[in-house]
Amino acid sequence: MSYLTIKNLSKTYKKSSGFLNTKTFNIKALDNISFSVKKGSCMAIVGESGSGKSTLAKIIMKLLHPESGKLTFSGLSISDLEGKKLLPYRRKVQMIFQDPFSSLNPKFTIQQVLAEPLKIHRLGNEYEIDNKVNKFIELVGLKKEDLKKFPHQFSGGQRQRICIARALIMEPEMIVCDEPVSALDVSIQAQILELLKNLQSKLNLTYLFITHDLRVVKYMAKEMIVLQKGKLVEKGTVKEVFSNPKTNYTKSLIDSIPGSI
Amino acid sequence: MKTNNILDVSNLSIYPRHSKTLKLVDDISFNIPKGKVTCIVGESGSGKSLTALSIIQLLSVQLDFDGVIDFEKSRISQLPESKLRDLRGLDIAMIFQDPMTSLNPVFTVGYQVLEAVLAHRKISKSEAKNEVIKAFDDVGIPADRYDSFPDELSGGQRQRIMIAMAIINNPKLLIADEPTTALDVTVQKQILDLINKLQKKFNMSVLFITHDFGVVQEIADQVLVMYKGKIVESGNAKKVINLPNHPYTKALLNCIPSLKSSKKLSPINYKKLDQEMAKL
C-alpha cells in the first residue's frame, strides 16, 4: 500500500517585470506531477537546478500551497488541512536542508536548537525534553558536552548531524532530505550517507531524498523519479532507470557522472 | 631544473605569521609538467587551496610561506609585488570555486573580461573588445551577453565567464580551485569538458584542485593527494586510482558511492588511518 501519494500536483510562480511591473508571466515550477512512496522506502527525486525538486519538497512540507493536486499521507488527505489541524502531520514529517551553515540559529545553543521543536509541540516536561535531547545527540554521533556549544563551533559535517538530530527528535515517520550532502566534502558525505542509511533501518523511516548526484541515488534509494523543468519525465526503480533510461534527459544526467569508479 | 616542467615547487611550507611552528602546509615539493593536467585531491583543511594560492602569492596577509617556486625559468617566490601583478592573469591565471561571488555585480561581464585584457596588453579598446568576444566564443557564451550583468547569468554561465577571463591572455598555467563544486552535475560535466578542450587547444598546463576522485578520473594526467598539509601520494592519475598505495588514498576512494558495484560506503576512520600511517 502506498504511504505518501501525490496526485496531479501543479504549482506556478508568477513573475512580473517591465515598467511598474506591468508585464506578468508564469513559470510552471511543477506540472501535473503524480507519484507515490512506500512506507520504509527511500525515494530519490532527481533533477538539475530549476527542475522543481525543491518546490516539490516545500509543498510536501506544507510550506508552499499548490494550485491544484492532492496530497495523501497514510490514508489522510493533507491538501486541505490548515493551522492547528496540521500539527500532527508536521510532527510526522521532518526536513533536512541543504546548507547546514544557514539552517541553524546562530544565537541558540545546540541544547536550545534540539529542544525547540519539542517545546512547540508540547511534547513532555522539561525533564523529559532534556532526556530526549541527550539521547538524540548521541544517536547522531555527537557528545553530550556538545549541547552547550553554539553552531559556529562545529564543522559542516557536524552541523548536518545536528540538523539530523533536530529532525529525528520529533520521532517522525518520514524525512524530506533536500540535498543534505551536496555542500559537504566527499569524505564527510560518506559519513552522513552512512548515518542516514543506518538510521533508516533502525527507526523504519521513509525518506524523500532530493539530489542531483546519481552516485548518491544509487547508494541510497531503491526507487526514483526524474524531474525536468517541472515535468516528471521518468519514474521507476533505480535499477531500471540506470540500465534503461527512457528519456535523453535522464541519459545526459547519467553521462554527466564524473569518472567511473 | 628540468625543461619539461612549467612549475617546480620545492620545500613549500605555509604557516600563520605569528607562529612558525604551526604548519598548514608542511614541506611539500612537486612539479607541474608542461601541457598536462595535474590534480590536487584532498579534504577541506588539507592545504590544497593554500598551495594553489601560494603559487600566485595571493595568500591572506596573516599567512606566510617558505620555499622555492620556479615558474619556467624565473624564481617567482622572490618576485616583488609589482612584478607579480604582471604575472597574475597573464602567464598564470586562476579560476575560483564560487562563480557567484567572484564577479563584480555592478559591472557588465564583458567589461570585466575587457579589464583583464587591458591590464596586460597595450591594445585599443575596440581591439580588446574583439578579443573578449572571441574568448566568449571559446567558452560558449553568445556575443550578445557582453552587456549582461552577472546576476542575469546562471552559475554555469558565470563560471564560463570566469574561464574566459582566465584564458583571454593565453596563460601558460591555469589554476582552477574547485571550479565545479558549486555546480550541478550536468553543468559540471560541461565545464570539465570545456577546460579539457581549451587545455588541448592552447596547450596550457592546468593545476586542478578538487575533493572528488570522480572528477580526477575525468580530467587528470597526474595527481597529488594531500592530507593534513602533506603530499601523501602522487603519480599518474590512472595508476593512483586503480592501484592506490597510501592508506589515505584508499580511504578517500572508498568514500565515493560507486555506480558499478553496490559496495558499502566506508567513511574515513581517522584513528585507524593515523595508526596505519604511523606504521609506514
Tell me the per-residue pLDDT of A138-150, one tens digit each, with 9 for 90 and over: 999 999 999 999 9
Please state the domain extents for chain A: 2-13+26-103+173-255
User: What is the CATH number for B201?
Assistant: 3.40.50.300
The answer as to whether B11 is a domain residue is yes
Structural domain includes residue B74: yes
Note the pLDDT of residue B206: 95
The low-confidence residues of chain A, meaning pLDDT below 70, are 1, 260-261
More confident residue, B270 or B206: B206
Question: Residue B129's domain spans which residues?
Answer: 103-170
Model pLDDT, residue B1: 47
Residue B151 lies in a domain: yes
Distance between CA atoms of residues A253 and A251, nearest Å: 5
List CB contacts of B152: < 8 A, sequence separation 6 or more: none
By the CB < 8 Å criterion, does B261 face chain A? no
**Cβ within 8 Å, pair B267-A260:** no
> Cell numbers at residue B233, please?
601520494
Chain A residues near residue B262 by CB distance under 8 angstroms: 218-219
pLDDT above 90 (res B74): no
Q: Closest Cα of chain B to A50: distance in Å?
A: 11
B105–chain A Cβ distance below 8 A for any pair: no
Q: How large is the average pLDDT for residues B125-149?
A: 92
CB contact under 8 A, A253 and B218: no
Last residue of a domain, one of B151, B170, B189: B170
Residues of A in contact with B212 (CB under 8 A): 186, 258
- B92 and B57 in contact (C-beta within 8 Å)? no
What pLDDT score does B3 carry? 65
Q: Is residue B266 part of a domain?
A: no
pLDDT tens for B233-272 read 999 999 999 999 999 999 999 888 877 766 777 888 888 8
Pair (B157, B223) in one structural domain: no
Specify if B227 maps to a domain. Answer: yes
The residue-averaged pLDDT of B46-62 equals: 91
**DSSP one-letter string for B34-78:** TT-EEEEE--TTSSHHHHHHHHTT---TTEEEEEEEEETTEEGGG
| Minimum CA–CA partner of B191 in chain A | A256
B181–chain A Cβ distance below 8 A for any pair = no
Same structural domain for residues B19 and B111?
no
Tell me how many domains chain B contains. Answer: 2
| pLDDT at B2 (0 to 100) | 52
Domain membership flag for residue B10: yes
Please tell me whether residues B67 and B9 are part of one structural domain.
yes
For this complex, say whether ipTM is above 0.85.
no
Overall average pLDDT of the B33-49 stretch: 91
Residues B191 and B166 placed together within one structural domain of the fold:
no
Q: Return the residue matching grid coordinates 569538458.
A: B193
What CATH number is given for A2-13+26-103+173-255 in this structure?
A: 3.40.50.300
Per-residue model confidence (pLDDT) at position A226: 94
Cell 607579480: give the residue.
Answer: B84
With a cut of 90, say whether residue B106 has pLDDT above it: yes
Q: Pairing between strand A174-178 and A206-211?
A: parallel
Domain contains B262: no
Mutant choice from A155, A179, A186, A242 vs B, greatest count of B C-beta within 10 A: A186
pLDDT for the residue numbered A220: 92
Same domain, B183 and B47: yes
Is B258's Cβ below 8 Å from some Cβ in A?
yes
- Give me the percent of chain B exceeding a pLDDT of 70: 98
State pTM to two decimals: 0.81
Task: Select the residue of A187, A218, A252 nearest B267 (Cβ to Cβ).
Answer: A187
Burial class, A141, CB count within 10 angstroms (exposed 0-12 / middle 13-18 / buried 19+)? middle
Q: Which amino acid is at B109?
A: V
How many Å apart are CA A20 and CA B15, to the nearest integer? Answer: 55
User: Is position B24 within any domain?
Assistant: yes
Please indicate, yes or no, whether residues B161 and B197 belong to a single structural domain of this protein: no
